Structure 1
Amino acid sequence: MEDYRYRCPVCVKLPLDGPPLGIEAPPFKYNLGHDQAKFEKSNTQCDLYRLVRDLHRIWLENGEGSRGKYWYSCSPWYSICTDPGVWDILPASSEAFVHPNPLDPSTIARLQTWIDRCDQEHEGCHGERYPVLPTRILDLGEPGFTGNVKLVETNSHRGQYIALSHCWGASNSFLTTRDTIESRKNGFLPDQAPATFRDAIMLARCLEIRYLWIDSLCIIQGDKEDWNVEASRMGDVYRNAYLMVAAANAADDTQGFLKSRPKIQCSMNVVAPTGQAAKVYLRPQNYKYDNKDLPLESRGWTLQESYLCRRQLRFMHQKIIWDCQSTQWDELDRDVLEKKYQSGTHHSVARLFPENESRHSVPYEEWYGMIVDFATRKFSVQTDRLPALSGLAALVAAQKKGRYCAGLWWEDIGYSICWTPGLHRSRPDLYIAPSWSWASIIGPVTFPDVGYAAFFPTPETLDAVVFRDYKAIHRGSNQYGEIECAWLELEAPLAPIAKVKDEKLEERDQHPHWRECEYFSILDTKNEEVLRVEFDFKEEEVDELFALFLMCAVDRDTGRHAPAERLRSSAVELSGLVLRPTLDPGKIQGQYSLPKGFGLYQRVGFFKVVTRQAKQKFLEMAPVTNIALL
């Protein structure tokens, strides 16, 4: 057979002259290059050459490469992993073997090890060992029992239970309603339940935990009164759970979460320096990155559940993650590392109570950071947006002695009503929250200095602004849940504004976030400064609009500015809300007993204006006015 070794431009660069590799680690990576013209002229019949040439041509046709040079590589990066039981004799192995079956005895043993370690070593990760059970619970029977599952009324009995966090999906046929509650109490076989419920039952039985809480089975669906009562107790349900199981990899209840993981194709037996035999496996590096496109991460209700639970098992596409208040363990890794918060995605209620709160000029800044995530999530029922936070809000209110105001907090209300909407938002079909609450729109929001760096320091409420009271009328008994009507009573500088048409101004702001802005000035004044207005919805641009001045930020020169910037360093940035008068104020005032002598307004947008005037001088154009903001 002809030796193409000396004729093929590909083979000539490969290290084929060395001895057999044997058990030595192979050189996994080659980066090779050729001049394209010379490469194309080669007349070798080598199959490897023709493969590289043809693949490169396809690559160019798809617009992915550049002509003139062939670049190709062989880069199969692998990690060495072993069974957890041999880590001590093979310390070079940093990763763990993952069995394809998530219910394999070796997997269950590892999960039980995590639970036991947390029980014994982490004081802050569990409350009462046997807390009061939720109103209703699924009884799975004694260890070893495989029969019917029964829904039981707990009557304040105590015990340990798992709480399930899951995506319902569109086909919600297996529920507890007034019509089916007796059937659920009589019992059902696991095979009768959807795959996600069936998997939760099997997992709980493997871990020998008798009780299981699933919202769609333990709350009576379609019963508004029961739903209101149980929604208000959601904080206790997840907070007191012995463990939460998050079906992160299932888009609905029919899919299940105990899915087979990829098999590892390559394994070998080795002898450790101690003389002990062990098996090692090679796993592709990209196997580890398994936190994208998880259905549970986009569902609105599950964010609260993740914050409230003390510890959870998250079932992902290729692995299981343990999260508690003290650490995070990854099924792919050794358990010696304490990796708390390294991923940046862990949700813990402790994050809402920073150890050094004096650093925070905004008392609830961590809450609003959480809302930035929450606002992007999906709901099948729009009016669930506030109830889906009610358990967490109740816990935060109790811990911080705060006053909750339709998704915001009274203690920094002047700051928090100055949120701005993202580019992709819509108006809800039904009333959800007052116009000044982020919950009044469907879509992303940001808060001042939360999520981005501003040129000016964190704004502060103007001295002339006084918030008098907050009033709310709720639907049902949950005081942190659905709202029928709510308003703020305040006094603040208010001025009528009119639109300014200036092409130079519009050309100046070409950042995508500001392209939707309009420019306004205070009516009937000679003031040259313009207000840059972003409407919550484009159609809100009406004839009669007002600027409500709330916040102020002064950029003091501390020597950090370049000479060209120092002129701006003495500027004052004023910001606030754009308002319109409420439609039919007489009817609203009579229906809800709003205060007399207050003008009734609604938020329609947010504005900023930068001025080099003294703020007191500028605000002379905006007299302080009594306002009821709906």
Structure 2
Amino acid sequence: MEKIGPDNFDRLSIEHLPNVRIIPSTGLPSNTPYLTLSHRWGNPPSLLLAKKKKFLLHEDISPHLLNCSEAVVFRHAVHVTRSLGFRYIWIDALCIMQDDEQEKTADIMQMDEVYSNSSLNISAAEGRVREGLDLDRNTLYINPHRAKVRHPITQDDIHLQAFRGNSFLGPREAPLNKRGWVYQERILAPRVVHFTQDQVFWECSSLEASEVLPQGISRWPRKHFTKGIMDPSVTSMQQIKSRWFNIVEDYSHTSLTFTDDRLLAISAVAKKFCSALQREPSDYLAGMWKDDLPLSMLWMQHSQPDTDMLEPTAAAEMNHAPSWSWASILGPIISVELSSLTASAEVLNVQAVRMSPNIFDGTESCRLRLRGHVCKFCRCTQNGARWINVAQHTEFQEISDFEFQKGRTIVIDWDTSRKMADEWLQTPEIGLASFEYFLLHLASEKSVDGAIERGIVLRKTNVRGTFSRIGSFFTPPQSEYSGSKLEAAFTGRLATLSTDDYFDLDFNGKYIVEVV
């Protein structure tokens, strides 16, 4: 493409060259090249396509873009699109009828195609709605100090560069990249150009570059941000599964303005994975894949506060996901490697009521019926330490970190984003003797240091045999689990539940319960 000089570049702006229109994509050939835009919305947004603004569909929208202070990023994106030789750009705020729920749902269900088929995604990475892409930059950040030195032995010349700031952009670097909706746009777009405060960054599947390193670094094995879903024709299913869990972990660190968007904002990625994993859409259950259950229920809430989280909301739980799904809490999570686990519980039935036609969104309800070993316990305090009691015997000291302590210890990672669990932990007199807890054993793991038993912590609901998750647990390899009352309960030799705690009990001592 022929280079554009400064004068010609300015002539491509909306101020100099108006006539910007919203057109239906149905009238364009399917292979029409186009760009997309990732941006921060105003609060509330000032310029949106809505029923009351249908006139935007029938006229030049340049005057509206010029007269709206929050449309600066749109003006700049159109300018960049023209300068790169493209004619079309897709902008969610202007291409989706925002107050038509049926149309909006249908369009969101196509987000995987919109972003993955685009030629380039423009990212207004600083997230400043009134500044757009044209930021007051400090040129010192993109003018490195250069030096040439000679190797004393080989006499080869070595060229050195030293510069302030970043040469690449990590998963949550720049304000916009901490947003949940933007995360999937960045994953799906084949190429992204990030406009940040100090320089422009480029990323695609083969190159990460910036203004200070326009060619990237050759032979650099590690990507700062991995794009795409993986091609099943050249990748194993296990690798694709691992990629999904890695994406979920990264995504769980992002923030959302509306808590109920927790699953919707990653639904386009889930749809792509459904195809890559060769699954049926109905196998997707509020962020979890049916055939990964029950082992995938062993996720843990990250114990450290996430300083990257933006706009923390008052509610720490999401209503449209079951408690056994990572999506039910609004906080960072850690997945457990499933390949080293041997399941001890089995899923008998799943009953899911979807909340919308988008099957990759959340659920109104999702009940999981399982058969497994369950142990009832209480908590107590001795000499300032927390202990759990099984069958009226003090059994294991409760610890929160993975410490290879000898003696009877159990690691419990509480879902502290849940209001009830957080209150129990903050108020000892409430959370100890006042409540009964349940451990559902899900898997055993053989490590180089010894056996590990894993499961989830439950609280009973008001419905017989029905529980909700409030945490996860595991026994460290040197915890003296063998010969304990807990082992007896997890092998069916000790019954700790009352008849109203379960639906049925088999001859192996496994209980049938439901988790919601």
Aligned AA for 1:152?
I
Query: Mind listing any 5+ residue stretches in structure 1 that lack a counterpart?
Result: 1-101, 109-140, 268-281, 451-457, 507-517, 557-568, 586-597
1:377 corresponds to? 254
Is 1:182 matched up with 2:55? yes
2:23 corresponds to? 152
Q: 1:493 to 1:259 in 2, by over 3 A?
A: same
Distance in 2, Cα, partners of 1:380 & 1:472: 26
Distance in 1, Cα, partners of 2:369 & 2:315: 24
Is 1:428 matched up with 2:299? no
TM-score, scaled relative to structure 1: 0.62
Contact kept, 8 Å, 1:310 with 1:324, in 2: the verdict is yes
Distance in 2, Cα, partners of 1:352 & 1:491: 36
Structure having the higher Rg: 1
Q: How does 1:260-299 map to 2 (within 5 A)?
A: 260-263=136-139, 285-289=163-167, 291=169, 294-299=174-179
1:346 corresponds to? 225
Pick aligned residue for 1:244 from 118, 121, 139:
121
Q: How does 1:349-364 map to 2 (within 5 A)?
A: 349-350=228-229, 357=236, 364=241
Is 1:481 matched up with 2:367? no
2:67 corresponds to? 192
Task: State which drifts further: 405-414 or 344-353.
Answer: 344-353
Pick aligned residue for 2:482 from 584, 604, 613:
613
Pick aligned residue for 1:408 from 269, 288, 311:
288
Contact kept, 8 Å, 1:300 with 1:377, in 2: the verdict is yes
Pick aligned residue for 1:443 from 328, 331, 334:
331
Pick aligned residue for 2:205 from 325, 345, 359:
325
Distance in 1, Cα, partners of 2:4 & 2:461: 59
How many positions carry a matched residue from both structures? 433
Q: How does 1:384-403 map to 2 (within 5 A)?
A: 384-402=261-279, 403=283
Q: How does 1:52-201 map to 2 (within 5 A)?
A: 105=6, 146-155=17-26, 157-158=28-29, 159-189=32-62, 190-193=65-68, 194-201=71-78
- Deviation by residue 1:559-589 (Cα, 9 ceiling, x = unmatched): xxxxxxxxxx4x4221111112223x3xxxx
Contact kept, 8 Å, 2:143 with 2:163, in 1: the verdict is no
2:147 corresponds to? none
Aligned AA for 2:467?
Y
Distance in 2, Cα, partners of 1:437 & 1:341: 33
Contact kept, 8 Å, 1:148 with 1:188, in 2: the verdict is yes
Contact kept, 8 Å, 2:229 with 2:276, in 1: the verdict is no
Aligned AA for 1:520?
I
What is the CA-CA distance between 1:317 and the residue it aligns to?
A: 2.3
What is the CA-CA distance between 1:196 and the residue it aligns to?
A: 0.8
CA RMSD of aligned residues (A): 3.5
TM-score, scaled relative to structure 2: 0.74
- Deviation by residue 1:159-204 (Cα, 9 ceiling, x = unmatched): 2111101121424111111111223432211423511111101001
Q: 1:358 to 1:428 in 2, by over 3 A?
A: closer
2:346 corresponds to? 466
Contact kept, 8 Å, 1:291 with 1:316, in 2: the verdict is no
1:628 corresponds to? 514
Is 1:549 matched up with 2:441? yes
Aligned AA for 2:455?
G
Aligned AA for 2:277?
K
Q: 1:460 to 1:266 in 2, by over 3 A?
A: closer
Contact kept, 8 Å, 1:307 with 1:347, in 2: the verdict is yes
Distance in 2, Cα, partners of 1:421 & 1:222: 35
Distance in 2, Cα, partners of 1:577 & 1:185: 56
Q: Secondary structure, in 3 states, of the residue corresponding to 1:313?
A: strand
What is the CA-CA distance between 1:246 and the residue it aligns to?
A: 1.2
Contact kept, 8 Å, 2:387 with 2:395, in 1: the verdict is no
What is the CA-CA distance between 1:386 and the residue it aligns to?
A: 0.3
Distance in 2, Cα, partners of 1:222 & 1:347: 34
Q: 1:215 to 1:341 in 2, by over 3 A?
A: farther
Pick aligned residue for 1:366 from 243, 249, 255:
243
Q: 1:627 to 1:341 in 2, by over 3 A?
A: farther
